[in-house]
Amino acid sequence: MNLKEKMEKVALFAKEKRDRAIIKNPDYSARLIYRWQHTLRVTQYGKILAEKEGAEIEIVLIACLLHDIAKLSDRSRDVEHGRIGAKMVRPFLKEIGYSDEDAENICYAIATHVDGKSDFEHPHTLEAKIVSDADKIDRFSNYRTTVALGKFANDDYESLILAARKRLVRFQKARREIRIQTESGRKAFDEQISLQVVYMERLIADYEISVLPKI
């Protein structure tokens, strides 16, 4: 099986889990559909970072596609979802032909993507750092900002601006507190946040000039 076929198989495995979770709880359907779209974007970011950092691309791609499997199948949504996800995919990875070493490498990246902690012994790999970085880049996408502010679209202007100010604070906090582990990841994350900051600042500035000019 070549990498393209493996990726398709892994994507099918993940989507089947998502679809079963949707059937079980249709109320979660939008959230689960979003989770898969997020997964695909994380995989795209992971590919770029892996190429730039000289990591094993196959490990990164497969780990990215499976990193949120526990959320996607509605098994766990908390900080444990990485470690639970790793347990869920280990037998499947062997089934599709991964060696013990590769399967452990993929599982380690999945297990640690949230908080860097694993419940089994493994060196802290470049591939794991990349999966975690790629995930964090998508947490601050234009899409997330649009959805967050869209909730206020039908409210008054002040509520929207208040939400924009809160988001600005959130971006500053993210810059200080979120741990990005690779050089390329740091660059992409900074770019992502900077874009959002400029957007929020312009949104607030437009509000502030919605008055008569000072003479």
Question: Is the distance from CB of 74 to CB of 32 less than 8 angstroms?
Answer: yes
* Size, binding site for Fe ion by CB under 5 A: 2
Contacts of 199 (CB under 8 A, 6+ apart): 142, 145
Burial of 195 (C-beta count, 10 Å sphere; 0-12/13-18/19+): middle
Question: Is the distance from CB of 56 to CB of 38 less than 8 angstroms?
Answer: no
Closest CB 38 distance from Fe ion, rounded Å: 6
Question: Is the distance from CB of 143 to CB of 206 less than 8 angstroms?
Answer: no
Q: Which of 6, 53, 55, 68 binds Fe ion (CB under 5 A)?
A: 68
Q: Is 135 in the site for Fe ion (CB under 5 A)?
A: yes
As a whole number of angstroms, the distance between CA 155 and CA 140 comes to: 23
Q: Which x/- pattern, by CB under 5 A, does the window 69-88 give for Fe ion?
A: --------------------
Closest CB 208 distance from Fe ion, rounded Å: 35
Nearer of residues 124 and 202 to Fe ion, judged by Cβ: 124
Nearer of residues 72 and 93 to Fe ion, judged by Cβ: 72
Closest CB 97 distance from Fe ion, rounded Å: 25
Residue 116, phi-psi category: left (phi > 0), alpha (psi -120 to 50), beta (remainder): left
Q: Which x/- pattern, by CB under 5 A, does the window 81-120 give for Fe ion?
A: ----------------------------------------
Residues that bind Fe ion (CB under 5 A): 68, 135
